[in-house]
Amino acid sequence: MLRHTFLHATLCLFAAAALDAQVVRGRVVDRATKQPIATTEVTAVTVGGRRIGQTISDSAGAFSLDLRNAGSYRLEAQRIGYRPVTSPGFDVGAREVLEVDLNMTVESINLDPLVIHGRAAPPHLPDLERAGFYARERTAPGLFMRRDDIARTRGARMSDVLGSVPGVRRATIQGRAGVSLGRSGGTGRACPPAVFLDGMPVVRAEGIDDIIAVTAIEAMEVYRGPSQTPPQFAGPETGCGVIVIWSRRQA
């Protein structure tokens, strides 16, 4: 907690002037370096503890407070990084200008420890490791989904899961549910990707819901065009992209 300490205050009484109010002004400085301390909150307090004025020191550490009445006061100064200080009491006469130098001492601030919550990376499965899935996940430009990612889509069918992937849309191909990764040659026809199951080519995306149940999928890779497709999945049928499915029995 911040601790109140008394400061050394230099009080200089100036000659009375034709003023509408009493004024307390001065500078806030670092006790050790004597450098000005900007943006310090300076408050005038009566002997009874009532706050009757407040201001902020400027870039030169200077401040000025108008006091409505003559009387006895003290100053309190607070700034982050410094110990709060309270001056000894002083009297201000009618229409007097009083100058006060406030000296502050640097104070270390104890912050609450930073707590980072994160999810531990799931363990690598041996078959997916051998198939190169994790290596491609680190370096290839495709989109990769693991079991928990697939579960979060809440898709009941393959077309539902893939329909949630950016750049993939559901399509009806030859009367069967499928997906498309684009348009074929500007003709307006769907462009179904090639599909691999456990590393082996199966069918294109026609009837994709019949290839495998969503609950049986361990991981998937989606490559949305020839420029993304790794060499081991490239071929004449992969011009519209590739979907690689890894089953749980395989992994």
Query: Mind listing the pLDDT tens digit for each residue in 205-217?
Result: 457 788 889 999 9
Of 112-116, 190-194, 222-226, the one with minimum mean pLDDT is: 112-116
One domain, residues 15 and 46? yes
* Residue 17 pLDDT level (bands cut at 50, 70, 90): very low
Number of domains in the chain: 2
Q: What is the mean pLDDT of residues 129-146?
A: 91
What residue type is 81 in one-letter code?
G
Asked whether residue 215 is domain-assigned, the answer is yes
Q: Are 31 and 102 in contact (CB under 8 A)?
A: no
One domain, residues 140 and 196? yes
Q: Are 53 and 43 in contact (CB under 8 A)?
A: yes
**Proportion of the chain above pLDDT 90, given as a percent:** 40
One domain, residues 152 and 91? no
pLDDT attached to residue 171:
72
**pLDDT tens column, 22-66:** 999 999 999 999 999 999 999 999 988 899 999 999 999 999 999
What residue type is 6 in one-letter code?
F
One domain, residues 100 and 207? no
Name 177's Cβ contacts closer than 8 Å, sequence gap at least 6.
157, 159, 170, 207, 208, 209
Residue span of the structural domain in which 18 resides: 5-104
Name 64's Cβ contacts closer than 8 Å, sequence gap at least 6.
23, 24, 25, 55
Query: pTM for the whole thing?
Result: 0.49
